[in-house]
Homo-oligomer: A and B are copies of this chain.
């Protein structure tokens, strides 16, 4: 978003593309000299592992940049996939580098963005390394929904929920089976409801209580 407004003024070789639900947005390698930004829909960035497994690193929605760690640096090992149908914009990395020289503010914006992602990665790491299954799943749900709340106008606790339980599992380091069990107990306690692609948080307080660490905003 900040980046969007920061670069919209100049010609940065921008154009648009669409990725259908479930399809790959960008493979780890070879990766073209581009910067990709999600305009609409959900995608996720992941590290492919052996035997079809994957570690999900981040979920991206409108305004988020893919592979921020790779911009201006070495290329990583991560790929990205469309969670819903996704529209995204593509900028030329060379053009951005060019632009930075003339307009250093842009570089600072990018650095802030990277810092934000680093902090989020560390939060997730902490949850996975130190917390129980219930805490991790609760963390996932809260993290995801609080992100949406930042943008939405109303205070409703009903969210479009585009994730499979397998996605949650691949993010927080559990099996899909155990995620299912865990969410079942949350439902049984009356903390949330889940119907046809919508998640409703019925007791945010309790969920927050469960995963209280470092007063996470």
Residues of A within 8 A of B (CB): 47-50, 53, 55, 57, 68-74, 76-78, 97, 100-101, 103-104, 107-108, 110-112, 114-119, 121-126, 128-130, 172-173, 212-216
A111 nearest CB neighbor, chain B only: B72
Query: In the assembled complex, which residues on chain B have CB atoms less than 8 Å from the CB atom of A76?
Result: 115, 119, 122
CB distance from A120 to the nearest CB of B (A): 9
A and B contact pairs by CB, cutoff 8 A, 11 listed: A57-B125, A68-B118, A69-B116, A72-B111, A73-B115, A74-B112, A76-B115, A76-B119, A76-B122, A78-B122, A104-B107
A129 touches B68 (CB 8 A): no
Task: For the complex of A and B, list the 4 residue pairs with the smallest distance between their C-beta atoms, beginning with the closest.
Answer: A129-B173, A107-B107, A73-B115, A69-B118
Q: Which residue in B57, B77, B107, B213 is a CB contact (below 8 Å) of A50?
A: B213
Q: Distance (Å) between the CB of A45 and the closest chain B CB?
A: 9
How far, in Å, is A119 (CB) from chain B's closest CB? 5
* Alpha-carbon separation in the docked complex, A126 to B53 (Å): 11
Known: A104-B100, A107-B104, A130-B55. A122 touches B47 (CB 8 A): yes
**Which residues of B are found within 8 Å of A172, using beta-carbon distances?**
129
The chain B residue with its CB closest to the CB of A109 is B72
Asked if residues B173 and A130 are in contact (CB atoms below 8 Å), the reply is yes
Q: Which residues of B contact A115 (CB under 8 A)?
A: 68-74, 76, 114
Q: How far is the CA of A107 from the CA of B101 in the complex (A)?
A: 10
Q: Shortest distance in angstroms between A56's beta carbon and chain B's nearest beta carbon?
A: 9
CB-based nearest B residue for A173: B129
A124 in contact with B126 given A107-B104, A119-B76 (CB within 8 Å): no
Chain B residue with Cβ nearest A116: B73
A48 to B214, CA, bound (A): 7
